[in-house]
Structures are given as C-alpha cells and as structure tokens.
Amino acid sequence: MSADVDLDAVARRAGEAASANEGPGSVVRDIEPLPGGHSGLTLGASLIAPSGASRRIALKVAPPGRPAVGRHDVLRQARLLTAISRSGAAVAVPEMLFSLDEPPLFAMSWVEGEAVEPVLDDVDLPAELTEVRALGASRMLAALHDISPALVNIDEAEPVLSIADDLDRWSKTMNAIDPDLRPRAGELREELLGRLPTQITPSIVHGDYRLGNILCSGPDLRGLIDWEIWSIGDPRIDLGWFMVFTSPEHFPGASYPAPGMPTEQALLHEYEAVRGPIEEWPWFSAFGRFKMAAIMGHNLKRHREGRHHDPYQETLPPTILSLVDQGLEILRRS
C-alpha cells in the first residue's frame, strides 16, 4: 500500500495543515511508513516548528484510490479521538494535532511504546508485566465504555449497531470462507441467533480491542490505537473480543505461551469492578470466537488467492475449527 502513496505530496499537504494550526512556517518531513494496519496508512514523520524545534509525530492517511468511507474514513477516527481526549476519561489515546479534509489525513502525537499480543506474538514478556498490562487494559476498556456518546457529541451522526447487525455482518464474512474451514459455523451462528441478548445502553465500541492495539511502556498503557472499525453499539461485543486473547489454548498451532496472562474470569472481574455485573456474558464470549474464526478464515482466503501473501496464514485452519467448537461449547455449557 505504501508504494502507491506519494510521500512528498503527503509531506507538503501535512506541512500546509501544520502551518495553519501549529504556526506559519511549520514543516513536516522525514516521512516513513509504519508497520501494521490494513485499512489506512500510518506514517511516522518529523514536525519542525518555526523555531526550528523538532518532534516526532504520526500521520494517518486514507489508502490511495479508496473512498473515504467506513474503515477508510480517517477523519471519522480523528473526530472520535478528539472527543475521547476532551472527555477526561481514563483512556490513553494519542493527542490530535491537526487534520486536512481533502485528501484526508490527520496528525497525532507520537506515542513511545510497544504493542504486544502475548498469546500471538513470539515475544518473551515477564509474567508480571503481561498480567499488569492485561488487568489495566480491562479497566481502560471499562473507562471507554463509560463515556457517553451523547456527552462527546458523536452519537447523532453515528447509527447504533445492534447485536443482530453485528452477528449478520460477521456471518457474511464466515459464509465467504472455504467450506472445509467452517463445517460447524452454521450451527454456531444458529445458536447465537436463537439466543440474542437484550441490548444494553450503547457505548463507544473500539472494534478490535486487545493488547496488540495498545502501545505500552513497561506497565503503563500509553496509547490505544487502530480505531478503523469503531462504532456505537453494545459494549459487551468489545469485551467478548478482548477475552478471546486470554489463552494460547484458544489458538492451537498458532500461539505462544503467555505466562502471567489473566484468565477470562479475572479480566471480567476487573471490568465489572468499574461498570458492574455483565449480564448474558457467555453469548458474547462465544460470539468473540465466531468473529475471530471468520476474520482468520477471511485472511487465509486472501493469502490463498494471492491478494496478500502471508505464509503464516497456513497455520490457522486448526485454530479456525477450534474457535467454532469453543463457541458451541460455551453456549451449551451455559
């Protein structure tokens, strides 16, 4: 994706926006693509103030040739991050600096840190560090869900995504993957559909909340990133997704030991300490696994069709099959 982006043009446009917001004569240079992310291009850059002082910033740019809608609408992400910052909630997000409407881009403060997914990344984290980060992430998720969309003025333009809508969305993804990867997926979908929970007060839903999307420095959570698919919806959807990443056993053949990673129940207890008891929890735990199986199947299909070469995807079939079985077991046990 980065090869299609004119970095000189991005630097020029970002410099114009910086001059208007940071002071005349501001310059953006030394732009380089950063790893990760498929729905938008994240760039590192230097912002040079009129005084000559330099600081590192991050830029988010819409993919070239893609309409700025949905997950490609970077300015929608910028509006949310601004609202969260102004809310005063205990949610670590980068500081918004400036934006440009056409072509769309925005700049944010540079956050030092590492984003590690203990069960999926081959990184040797001390057990106590994994534990404190995960427990802190559960509390931060609760703080995010405590922000009233109405109070930060982002609900009027955003439709509320119902639980049924979200299930339908990921069912379409699941149905498009290779049939041999989803022999019992239809069974799980029917059980989920037949037991749809009662919707609770809508919250801001990150959509991909996990440690791998949180920049950390030691035990400190420094910045929650990758907001491409945020929505207004049932907060338990975020929570169910977060819990999928609590154990290597959820990802047979594609995971690593994660000493210190709290159990699903431990993280749920931490979350409930902030927001109160969570009703109909098993449904969301099972749905998180259904969603993960669908996404992994989609990524594997893209690899096999040559749209995104990534041999790692060939390790995923056992996990995809297992996640569906896990979801069925959770629902039937409950």
pLDDT at 150: 84
Same domain? For 316 and 207 the reply is: yes
Question: Of 83, 109, 135, which closes a domain?
Answer: 109
Task: Return the residue matching tokens 């992994």.
Answer: 296
Reported confidence tier of residue 37, pLDDT bands at 50, 70, 90: low
- Structure confidence by residue, pLDDT tens digits, 212-242: 999 999 999 999 999 999 999 999 999 999 9
Q: CB under 8 Å to 68, separation ≥6 — which residues?
A: 62, 74, 75, 103, 104
| Residue 83 placed within a domain | yes
β-strands 41-48, 27-33 pairing? antiparallel
| Residue 213 placed within a domain | yes
pLDDT at 234: 98
Q: 29 pairs with which residues across the strands? A: 46
* CATH at residue 13: 3.30.200.20
| Residue 91 placed within a domain | yes
d(CA 176, CA 217) in angstroms, rounded, equals 39
Q: In total, how many domains does the chain have?
A: 2
pLDDT at 71 over 80: no
- DSSP code for 277: P
Same domain? For 28 and 169 the reply is: no
Residues 27-43, mean pLDDT to the nearest whole number = 81
pLDDT at 274: 96
pLDDT at 1: 41
| Residue 119 placed within a domain | no
Same domain? For 174 and 254 the reply is: yes
pLDDT at 6: 87
Same domain? For 146 and 68 the reply is: no
Same domain? For 88 and 36 the reply is: yes
pLDDT at 2 over 50: no
pLDDT at 59 over 90: yes
Share of the chain above pLDDT 90, in %: 84
Name the residue among 71, 25, 73, 75 with its Cα closest to residue 50: 25
Residues 116-127, mean pLDDT to the nearest whole number = 96
pLDDT at 102: 79
Same domain? For 182 and 285 the reply is: yes
- Structure confidence by residue, pLDDT tens digits, 243-293: 999 999 999 999 999 999 999 999 999 999 999 999 999 999 999 999 999
- DSSP code for 114: B
Same domain? For 67 and 153 the reply is: no
Residues 185-205, mean pLDDT to the nearest whole number = 97
Same domain? For 208 and 249 the reply is: yes
Least confidently predicted of 32-41, 84-93, 133-142, 292-301? 32-41
Residues 96-114, mean pLDDT to the nearest whole number = 92
Same domain? For 144 and 244 the reply is: yes
| Residue 121 placed within a domain | no
The number of angstroms, rounded, from the C-alpha of 329 to the middle of its chain's C-alpha atoms is 26
| Residue 116 placed within a domain | no
Same domain? For 194 and 322 the reply is: yes
| Residue 308 placed within a domain | yes
| Residue 118 placed within a domain | no
Same domain? For 184 and 301 the reply is: yes
Same domain? For 10 and 80 the reply is: yes
Question: Of 109, 137, 165, which closes a domain?
Answer: 109
Residues 300-313, mean pLDDT to the nearest whole number = 92
Which residue segment(s) compose the domain that 47 sits in? 2-109
* CATH at residue 241: 3.90.1200.10
Question: Of 109, 141, 158, which closes a domain?
Answer: 109
- In the chain, the amino acid numbered 298 is H
